[in-house]
Amino acid sequence: MLKNQDLQAVLEEINEEVQPLLSEGTVADYIPELAKVKQDKFGIHLLTLDDRSYSVGDCDERFSIQSISKVFMLAMAVGECRQNVYDRVNVEPSGDPFNSLVQLEYEQGIPRNPFINAGALVITDILLSNFPNARNEFIQYVNSLAGLKSINYNNAVAASEKKCGFKNAAMVNLMKSFGNIDNSVEDVLDLYFDFCSVEMSCQELAKAFRVFANHGKGLVDTRRYLTESQYKRIAAIMQTCGFYDEAGEFAFKVGLPGKSGVGGGIAAILPNEYSVVVWSPGLNEKGNSLAGMKALELFTTKTQTSIF
Ligand code: GLN
């Protein structure tokens, strides 16, 4: 539980401590449009369930949420579609990079989990089959989670990824050959790149993730986005699979369910207490924000909070 301490001062201390790390790491450039982001950006936003918020740095600047979007995709598929999503995607950590193809062939086209690319591509296929206009409905869903209206896709980022998304194309093709993709390869890829291109600030992501910290119940509205059991499962997958082949390290150092993206964002929750989002574009070799991981490690250490 959050103690009665000066949380603004905690965030400011963290901001100072991570400054030397901002020049380390590498901004993702395999999606050319992402390489334009300045490496020295850093922001944290903390939002509690009892409506206190604290921020530091560039926490109001929107960035490309990339794989953080996979949590929204899964929540929408599980909460809004009638089919059983977990028949088509497993829930085991992969221990491999987010864009790895190796397990897919010998596991017959069933991805290890929904938070690696292969898994999110299957979820995209499910959303495409279940909604007449999945692109519009998804962005409305994300806006609704955050209690906002202005969150949108970045078409330049999606187009930039489409031009060089060869591994994602390979995954969809392989899964289609095993019968685990219903729609056309092209349609699934286009929608997946759009989903990854959503732009949000730390503050906006914290609002959306606070719904997960609140067991899937809306705070701005009274909507129940997820049942208790659906929420529990998604939080468990964030805990075990949210950081690709660094999920163990994140649990060890930070101890919160969360999800990273190659845009340098990390969103995490302490159920019943808070959501916290950090952004720093320099990535470590596993594709997770280098200073962002450190900032969250410092945060849970200084506040003595974690799920354990
Ligand atoms: N759009 C990115 C990709 O498919 C998302 C990867 C990530 O954020 N880890 O490669």
Is-contact 59 203, C-beta < 8 A?
yes
- The residues that bridge with 200 in the sheet, in sequence order, are 63
**Ligand 1 centre and the CA of 67: distance in Å?**
5
Ligand 1 neighbourhood includes 99 CB (under 6 angstroms): yes
Whole-structure pTM value? 0.98
98 vs 216, which has greater pLDDT? 216
pLDDT tens digits for 111-159?
A: 999 999 999 999 999 999 999 999 999 999 999 999 999 999 999 999 9
Write down the pLDDT at residue 271.
Answer: 98
CA 154/CA 143 separation, integer angstroms: 15
Ligand 1 neighbourhood includes 66 CB (under 6 angstroms): yes
Ligand 1 neighbourhood includes 289 CB (under 6 angstroms): no
Q: What mean pLDDT value characterizes the chain?
A: 97
Q: Taking the CB of residue 49, how many other CB atoms lie within 10 A of it?
A: 17
- The single-letter code of the amino acid at 224 is R
For residue 184, report the phi and psi dihedrals to the nearest 5 degrees: -70, 150
Ligand 1 neighbourhood includes 68 CB (under 6 angstroms): no
What are the angstrom distances between the C-alpha of 138 and each of 6, 143, 194? 37, 9, 10
Ligand 1 mutation pick, 29, 30, 31, 64, max ligand atoms within 8 A of CB: 31
pLDDT tens digits for 200-256?
A: 999 999 999 999 999 999 998 889 999 999 999 999 999 999 998 999 999 999 999
Helix (H) or strand (E) holding 231: helix 228-241
Ligand 1 neighbourhood includes 98 CB (under 6 angstroms): yes
Closest ligand 1 atom, CA of 262? 8
161 closest CA partner among 17, 30, 300:
30
**Ligand 1 centre and the CA of 5: distance in Å?**
37
- What is the DSSP code (8-state) at residue 112? S
* Closest residue CA from atom 2 of ligand 1: 66
Closest ligand 1 atom, CA of 67? 8
For residue 186, report the phi and psi dihedrals to the nearest 5 degrees: -60, -45
Strand spans (E) along 219-296 = 258-260, 265-270, 274-279
**Ligand 1 centre and the CA of 30: distance in Å?**
10
Closest ligand 1 atom, CA of 197? 1
